[in-house]
Amino acid sequence: MKITTAHGSGGKETGTLIQTIFAAQFQNPVLDRMEDAAVVPGSAQIAMTTDSFVVDPIFFRGGDIGRLAVCGTVNDLLVSGAVPQYLTCGFILEEGLDTDDLERVVHSMQQTAQEAGVSIVAGDTKVIEGHGGLYINTAGVGFVPEGRVVGARQIQPGDKVLVSGNLGDHHTTILCARLAMETEISSDCAPLGGMVGALFDAGIAVHAMRDITRGGLGQVLNEYAKASGTCITIEETQLPVSPSVLHLSGVLGLDPLFMGNEGKLCAIVAPRDAENALQILRSSPYGADARICGTVTDQDAGIVLMETKIGGTRVVPELYGEGLPRIC
C-alpha cells in the first residue's frame, strides 16, 4: 500500500494507519491511552531534547532512519547526564511512500527503543505531496539523578579526552550509499546507555560528554575548548579509525576527525579515572575500540591542537561548510 493524502486527513484512514503501524509497534500503557498528551510520572531534574531526521537513503548498512531517530535523541539525553525515559515521534510522510517501508522503520524504532529502555509515548503523522520520502522528529525526556553535573563548564586542565570507538563510520556509510559504492563499512548507529550507565555506576568523574555526530570529534573538541576556556591537545596516533574508513576518506579527500558518527561519544574525565574509564568503555557494548586520545591543558585558551604522526603540532580548526547534507 502507498501513502496517500487521505492518510494525513485526520479521519478514518489516519486512524487505521496509526492503529496498524504505529500503535501496533509502540504499544505501552501511556501511549495506549491515546490522549492528546502523554501524562507521565517524574520527580527529578528533567532533561529534554529534540532532533529531526532527514537521512537519505532511509535504509543503510547498519541501520535506518528509525533506529537513527531513537539513538540520536536518546544519546543526547545520556551525554547530558540524564537517564532517558520517554520519547515522542512526529512523522512527515510524502505521498507514495510504501507502507511496508514505513512498517519496517517503525519496527526498527520500537526495537531500538526497547534496547535503549525508553517508551515512545506520543506521536503525530502528517502527509505531504512528494516522492515517497519519510522524515522523523523525535523529542525525548530523561531524568537527571541528584548531584550529577555534566557539561563543558566542568572541564579542567589535566582532564583526559576519551573516544568510545572508531570515527567516521556512519558518515562514510551514507556517503558510500549515496555514491552507490559497494563497501563493507557499516553505520555505528547505536544507543549508548550501556557505556554511559557503566561509567556513572563506577563513580568515574565524568566532567563532560558529547555524542560525536555531525561535525565529528574535531567540532566537539573545538566547542569544548571555547566553552571551557581551555586548550585541548589530541594525539593523531591515538585517534581510532578503521582501516576501511581511513582508506575511503583518503580517496575522497575527507578527514575522519570531522566525519559524523551516530553511536560514539567523547568523554572528558578526571585524570585519575582515565584508565578505569577506558576499560569500562572497552568492555561495554559498542565501545571495543575506545581510546584515550588527548589531554586538557591551560596552554592556549579556546583552541584544539594535534600532535601529528610525524612529530609536529598543528591547530585543529573548526569545521567550515558542510561536506554532505542529510547524513542524519
Q: How far is the CB of 175 from Mg ion (least distance, A)?
A: 20
Mark the segment that binds Mg ion (CB under 5 A) among 42-50, 61-69, 71-79, 106-114: 71-79
Mark the segment that binds Mg ion (CB under 5 A) among 72-80, 98-106, 152-160, 286-294: 72-80
The amino acid occupying position 326 is R
- Looking at the Cβ atoms of 211 and 289, the one nearer to Mg ion is 211
- Looking at the Cβ atoms of 76 and 169, the one nearer to Mg ion is 76
- Looking at the Cβ atoms of 95 and 211, the one nearer to Mg ion is 211
Dump the DSSP string for 248-303.
Answer: HHHHHT--GGG---SS-EEEEE-GGGHHHHHHHHHTSTT-TT-EEEEEEESSSTT-
Give the helix/strand (H/E) hosting 93.
strand 83-94
Q: Does 76 help bind Mg ion (rule: CB under 5 A)?
A: yes
Give the integer Cα–Cα distance in Å for 200 and 197.
5
The amino acid occupying position 304 is V
Q: Does 64 help bind Mg ion (rule: CB under 5 A)?
A: no
Rounded to 5°, the CA angle 282-242-202 comes to: 15
With cell 549508548, the residue in question is 192
Binds Mg ion by CB under 5 A, chosen from 64, 188, 211, 289: 211
Instruction: Give whole-number Cα distances, 25 to 103, 114, 127, in Å.
Output: 9, 11, 20
Q: How far is the CB of 42 from Mg ion (least distance, A)?
A: 22
Q: How far is the CB of 49 from Mg ion (least distance, A)?
A: 8
Give the integer Cα–Cα distance in Å for 220 and 20.
41
Q: How far is the CB of 218 from Mg ion (least distance, A)?
A: 15
Mark the segment that binds Mg ion (CB under 5 A) among 24-32, 68-76, 175-183, 293-301: 68-76
Residue pair 217/239 in contact (Cβ under 8 Å)? The answer is: yes
- Looking at the Cβ atoms of 28 and 50, the one nearer to Mg ion is 50
Give the integer Cα–Cα distance in Å for 166 and 168.
7
How many binding residues for Mg ion (CB under 5 A)?
2
Q: How far is the CB of 189 from Mg ion (least distance, A)?
A: 14
Give the integer Cα–Cα distance in Å for 287 and 53.
24
What character string, x for contact with Mg ion (CB under 5 A) and - otherwise, covers 107-146? ----------------------------------------
Q: How far is the CB of 209 from Mg ion (least distance, A)?
A: 9
- Looking at the Cβ atoms of 76 and 273, the one nearer to Mg ion is 76
Contact residues: Mg ion, CB under 5 A = 76, 211
